[in-house]
C-alpha cells in the first residue's frame, strides 16, 4: 500500500511538471470564442447536415448554441481544451433558470456537460426559442 501511495504521489508531481512543459512547448491556441466556422466544422465532423442559425454565445464564450434549420433541434458546441464537443438535442431538453440580473443558467441532462450561463441578447434569444417551441409542442 505504501508503494502504491508513493507511486500516486510521484505521479501527481510528474503530471504537474509535464503539464507545465506542454503548456510551454505546445500552448493551446484555440481559446477564443466559438465562431460560426468552428460551429459548422463541429457539425460537419459529426455528419450533421442541417445548417445552424444564429449563434447564442455563453457568457464565458466557451460554448455556443444554435437552432438547426428551423428547430426544434438545437446544437451546442463546447470548447474542451483545444478541441470541441457537440451535443444535438431538442430545445425542450434544455433546463434553464434565472441566475441574477439578465443572466440565465442553462443545463442539459448530461453528466459530462457542465452547466453554463448566457446573458443579454443570447439569453433573450434562448427564451424566445423556448417559448416558441413550448407553444408548438402544446399546440
Adjacent-strand bridge partners of 63:
78
- 7 near other proteins, judged by CB under 8 A: yes
Nearer to other proteins, 4 or 139 (CB): 4
* Number of residues near other proteins (by CB under 8 A): 36
Length of the chain: 139
> Do 64 and 58 contact (CB within 8 A), yes or no?
yes
- 130 near other proteins, judged by CB under 8 A: no
Restricted to residues 27-86, the positions that interact with other proteins (CB under 8 A) are 28, 45, 47, 78, 80-83, 85-86
Q: How far is CA 130 from the centre of its chain?
A: 18
| Cell of residue 104, nine digits | 440565465
| Cell of residue 117, nine digits | 450561463
- 127 near other proteins, judged by CB under 8 A: no
- 111 near other proteins, judged by CB under 8 A: yes
What dihedral do alpha carbons 65, 67, 68, 73 form, nearest 10°? Answer: 100
Which parts of this chain interact with other proteins (CB under 8 A)? 1, 3-5, 7-8, 10-12, 14-16, 18-23, 25-26, 28, 45, 47, 78, 80-83, 85-87, 110-114
Amino acid at each position: 500500500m505504501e508503494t502504491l501511495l508513493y507511486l500516486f504521489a510521484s505521479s501527481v508531481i510528474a503530471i504537474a511538471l509535464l503539464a507545465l512543459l506542454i503548456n510551454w512547448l505546445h500552448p493551446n491556441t484555440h481559446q477564443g470564442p466559438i465562431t460560426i466556422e468552428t460551429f459548422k466544422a463541429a457539425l460537419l465532423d459529426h455528419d450533421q447536415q442541417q445548417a445552424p442559425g444564429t449563434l447564442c454565445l455563453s457568457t464565458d464564450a466557451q460554448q455556443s448554441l444554435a437552432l438547426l434549420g428551423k428547430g426544434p433541434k438545437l446544437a451546442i458546441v463546447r470548447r474542451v481544451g483545444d478541441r470541441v464537443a457537440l451535443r444535438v438535442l431538442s430545445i425542450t431538453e434544455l433546463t434553464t433558470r434565472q441566475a441574477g440580473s439578465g443572466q440565465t443558467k442553462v443545463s442539459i441532462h448530461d453528466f459530462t456537460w457542465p452547466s453554463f450561463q448566457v446573458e443579454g441578447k443570447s439569453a433573450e434569444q434562448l427564451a424566445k426559442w423556448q417559448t416558441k417551441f413550448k407553444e408548438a409542442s402544446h399546440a
